[in-house]
């Protein structure tokens, strides 16, 4: 049986989040510059999005640019922005054809004007699509997301709209960039690094983690299927005991 056929479609993760990593090292191994790695990373993005949509995963979140990534060499940053712009413009038709909605989390207002504009156009065009949400984390920081949510709630308390006692998990959830999106059951990170790196800090509280040595440009559908199979073999206890879980 192939890896794909071994997947239990009744127990798919609804939401898969991926910390794509290793584009630079992949390029270095080939004697090329970092942008060559990012360009090849786009192929893996396409393959992964296709793989998730074919299986029936409802939400796919990709960490494409962190707030810390602005500190990279200027040529890499402008190259990444350019690649993002070109990729969005080239792929919007495919998203439409496949009923995939493009969304972003993070502060895209602070991104270059043409990139932000094109992203907004693509998001508007695909707004009604229902098969899968492809969520790009752009200029995103998990800590900054929590801070902006807390700030909004604090203002609401000050304005008398919210009581301190009403501040519960659901209220905070509703003020995060991911409001309305279920937490990822599975988080994948490539390139052998085993860190969260400021990705979805709140939302990953009970996620299963899958780490692979593969660099992002080498990530493919087989690797995706393997990650999902490993996820399906895990016992998710949410603080309970094995006996309690089995008895449910
Ligand atoms: C991590 O590898 C990769 C990134 C920070 C950028 C990811 C961007 C793309 C795959 C291209 C555009 C994306 C979309 C969604 C259209 P790294 O540069 O940190 O690699 P290294 O750790 O080997 O240096």
Q: One digit per residue, pLDDT tens: the chain, 248 residues?
A: 899 999 999 999 999 999 999 999 999 999 999 999 999 999 999 999 999 999 999 999 999 999 999 999 999 999 999 999 999 999 999 999 999 999 999 999 999 999 999 999 999 999 999 999 999 999 999 999 999 999 999 999 999 999 999 999 999 999 999 999 999 999 999 999 999 999 999 999 999 999 999 999 999 999 999 999 999 999 878 888 888 878 87
Q: Is residue 224 part of a domain?
A: yes
Active-site positions read 21, 69
87 CA closest ligand 1 atom index: 16
Structural domain span for residue 133? 11-232
Q: Is residue 237 part of a domain?
A: no
Count Cα neighbours of 109 within 13 Å in the Cβ-side half-sphere: 1
Q: What is the pTM of this model?
A: 0.95
Any atom of ligand 1 within 6 Å of the Cβ of 138: no
Query: How would you class 140 by CB atoms within 10 Å of its CB: exposed for 0-12, middle for 13-18, buried for 19 or more?
Result: buried
Q: Is residue 187 part of a domain?
A: yes
Sign of the alpha-carbon torsion through 188, 191, 196, 197? negative
Q: What is the DSSP string of 191-246?
A: TT----TTSSTTTTTT-EEEE-SS-GGG--HHHHHHHHHHHHHS---TTS-HHHHH
CB 115 within 8 A of CB 172: no
25 CA closest ligand 1 atom index: 23
> Count of domains in the chain?
1
**CATH code, domain carrying 162:** 3.40.1180.10
Ligand 1 centroid to 20 CA: how many Å? Answer: 6
Separation of alpha carbons 3 and 151, rounded Å: 45
Q: Is residue 102 part of a domain?
A: yes
What is the SS3 assignment for 105?
strand
Q: Is residue 22 part of a domain?
A: yes
Any atom of ligand 1 within 6 Å of the Cβ of 25: yes
Find all residues with CB under 8 Å of 186, minimum gap 6, and list them. Answer: 13, 15, 16, 17, 207, 208, 210, 227, 228, 231
Q: Is residue 244 part of a domain?
A: no
């Amino acid at each position: 049986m192939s890896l794909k056929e071994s997947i239990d479609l009744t127990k798919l993760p609804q939401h898969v989040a991926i910390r794509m990593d290793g584009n630079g090292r992949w390029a270095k191994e080939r004697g090329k510059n970092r942008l060559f790695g990012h360009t090849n990373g786009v192929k893996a993005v396409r393959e992964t999005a296709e793989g998730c949509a074919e299986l029936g995963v409802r939400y796919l979140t990709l960490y494409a640019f962190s707030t810390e990534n602005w500190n990279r060499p200027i040529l890499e940053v402008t190259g990444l922005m350019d690649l993002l712009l070109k990729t969005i413009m080239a792929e919007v038709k495919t998203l439409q054809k496949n009923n995939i909605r493009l969304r972003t989390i993070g502060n895209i207002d602070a991104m270059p004007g043409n990139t932000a504009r094109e992203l907004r156009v693509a998001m508007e065009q695909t707004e009604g699509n229902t098969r899968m949400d492809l969520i790009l984390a752009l200029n995103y920081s998990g800590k900054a997301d929590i801070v902006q949510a807390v700030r909004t709630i604090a203002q609401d308390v000050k304005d008398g709209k919210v009581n301190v006692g009403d501040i519960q998990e659901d209220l905070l959830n509703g003020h995060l960039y991911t409001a309305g999106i279920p937490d990822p059951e599975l988080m994948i990170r490539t390139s052998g690094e085993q860190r969260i790196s400021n990705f979805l800090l709140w939302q990953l509280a009970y996620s299963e983690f899958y780490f692979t040595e593969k660099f992002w440009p080498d990530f493919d559908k087989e690797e995706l299927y393997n990650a999902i199979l490993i996820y399906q073999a895990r016992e998710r206890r949410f603080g309970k005991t094995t006996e309690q879980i089995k008895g449910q």
